[in-house]
Amino acid sequence: MKATISFNKEETIGKVDKRIYGSFIEHLGRAVYNGIYEPDHKEADDLGFRKDVLDLVKKLNVPIVRYPGGNFVSGYNWEDGTGPRDKRPRKLELAWESIETNQVGIDEFQEWAKRADSDVMMAVNLGTRGPEEARQLVEYCNLDTDTVYANKRKENGFEKPFGIKLWCLGNEMDGPWQICGKTANEYARVATETAKMMKWVDPSIELVACGSSNLEMPTFGTWEKTVLEATYPYIDYLSLHSYYGNRDGDTAEFFAKAVDMDSFITQVENICDEVKAEKGTDKQINLSFDEWNVWYHSNDQDKEIEPWQIAPPKLEDVYNLEDAVMVGSMMIVLLNHCDRVKVACLAQLVNVIAPIMTEVGGDAWAQTIYYPFMYTSTYGRGTALKVSCDAGTYDTKEHTAIPNVDGAAVLSEDEKTLTLFLVNRSLSEEFDVDLKACGFEGYKVVKQVAMEGEDLQAVNDAANMNNVVPVEKCVEDGVKLSAHSWNMIQLEK
């Protein structure tokens, strides 16, 4: 079978914002405690952060990490995670039925982010709190004034401001699961006033307003429009969240869900542009897809966890090869919308639906989904090109005309390297790739890396950490896409 992949140097989508390769750490499960932070571990640094985990994070080239939630943030008092640790309160954490010790807060996390070569994307509590607490947090983090909250930071040992530039106005506020969730009008009002006050404190920050919690919410569409109509002058991004799973064991259907993600983005783009036209403004609202991943493996086991534990093992999906192909496919979707999706966060980073797993007192390792993320984050930087893939289609119960092969292309800033990311969704067919590269005379294929294998259920775990890893393929006789595989192909001038 043949797959014809066509692209033209002059037909661009846009520049890829590096923040499209962001991730997420929430005070949930073992993401923080016994994840990034384990002070008694042999690999712990001076602040208690695991250096082996930091090494794995740095290889992912994650430029921003969203923090501290998630559902957690809607009941969180940011002050609890500042100042002397022996005076910090232990509290019931309602979002995830856990006990929060507050041994890690913004004081520590901003330093962890620096050590991870990353920046913080900070979320504010618009559930149990509001505009006043949010603007106080901006002052604490970003100002060098002789005022109460800037001085509190200095008293806590941080003379220089943290300089956090990207902020979320709450989280999933239309969700009935959210602590103090809100109607569209309620959220629009509080988000508008919060945004005004936060930007009065620091005009240099960028703000993300909550979109609907997911595409299936009954509020979808009307929520976005109501929120945008109120917040438009003050915000910079609108958020999207979506997770996908293969609960029925139908891999073809599972792979087709990347098309749903593509449609979701397009619909939100259109709503933003509709409000823009109504307001008669030149300002464009871009998108922050700040929660996305595969999530379903751990759902049943999480129901058995007793409440009110410290760092219980929640949402610990063990990812297989099938999931790696799907994650790679979703990253292709994000690249192909990089003209509007400027921020995206793989949710999450460590232990909780994560590419990185740890054992308490033991090792850390990369899950299968780590690898397509790492390669795309590393080499998918530059200018994205429009790509056409002709390799036939397939139908499922819920989808029709799903392309067997999908792809994205990124030209490096120095234009010496063109990187293709291709997914073969076919469960049985291998494709010979025919590249139609207009404007790339003198370029040749030099490398192909693939996530492939016969066993789609194969995983990496503590006993066999390298069971599913990328393979480098010979390209002398051309490029081939194995059945159900994710691939990176590089051309050099």
Q: pLDDT tens, 300-331?
A: 999 999 999 999 999 999 999 999 999 999 99
Q: How far is CA 148 from CA 105, 111, 151, 165, 412, in A?
A: 19, 22, 5, 21, 46
Please state, in angstroms and rounded to a whole number, the distance separating the CA atoms of residues 409 and 272. 26
At 78 the pLDDT is 98
- Mean pLDDT (the chain) is 98
pLDDT tens figures, 437-476: 999 999 999 999 999 999 999 999 999 999 999 999 999 9
At 301 the pLDDT is 95
At 219 the pLDDT is 92
Please state, in angstroms and rounded to a whole number, the distance separating the CA atoms of residues 119 and 138. 15
Asked, as a colleague might, if the bond just before 22 is cis with ω within 30 of 0, I would say: no
At 144 the pLDDT is 98
Task: Name the packing angle between helices 131-142 and 148-155 (round to 10°).
Answer: 50
In the numeric block, the tokens 């119960």 are attached to: 397
Please state, in angstroms and rounded to a whole number, the distance separating the CA atoms of residues 128 and 126. 6
Conformational region of residue 434, where left means phi above 0, alpha means psi within -120 to 50, and beta covers everything else: beta
Q: Which residues contact 288 (CB under 8 A, 6 or more apart)?
A: 168, 208, 237, 238, 239, 240, 341, 342, 343, 344, 345
Q: Find out whether 408 and 420 touch, Cβ atoms under 8 Å.
A: yes
pTM over 0.95: yes
Please state, in angstroms and rounded to a whole number, the distance separating the CA atoms of residues 280 and 263. 26
Please state, in angstroms and rounded to a whole number, the distance separating the CA atoms of residues 20 and 377. 8
Residue positions counted in the chain = 493
Please state, in angstroms and rounded to a whole number, the distance separating the CA atoms of residues 110 and 438. 45
- Tokens in use for 400? 């029709």
Please state, in angstroms and rounded to a whole number, the distance separating the CA atoms of residues 306 and 97. 9
Please state, in angstroms and rounded to a whole number, the distance separating the CA atoms of residues 136 and 74. 16
At 81 the pLDDT is 97
Looking at residue 416, its amino acid is K
Q: Give, for 446, the enclosing helix (H) or strand (E).
A: strand 444-451
Give the pairing type, strands 237-244 and 356-358. Answer: unpaired
Question: What is the arithmetic mean of pLDDT over 22-33?
Answer: 98
Secondary structure (3-state) at 157: coil
Any idea which residues carry the catalytic annotation?
172, 291
In the numeric block, the tokens 């401001």 are attached to: 161
At 130 the pLDDT is 97
At 480 the pLDDT is 97
At 483 the pLDDT is 98
Please state, in angstroms and rounded to a whole number, the distance separating the CA atoms of residues 326 and 360. 29
At 19 the pLDDT is 98
Question: What is the arithmetic mean of pLDDT over 285-291?
Answer: 98
At 481 the pLDDT is 98
Give the pairing type, strands 480-481 and 431-438. Answer: antiparallel
Question: What is the arithmetic mean of pLDDT over 407-423?
Answer: 98
Conformational region of residue 344, where left means phi above 0, alpha means psi within -120 to 50, and beta covers everything else: beta
Question: What is the arithmetic mean of pLDDT over 135-148?
Answer: 98
- Tokens in use for 191? 């988000």
At 58 the pLDDT is 98
Please state, in angstroms and rounded to a whole number, the distance separating the CA atoms of residues 139 and 160. 12
Q: Which residues contact 226 (CB under 8 A, 6 or more apart)?
A: 184, 185, 188
Confidence of residue 351 (pLDDT cuts 50, 70, 90): very high
- Tokens in use for 132? 């006043």
Confidence of residue 159 (pLDDT cuts 50, 70, 90): very high
At 222 the pLDDT is 98
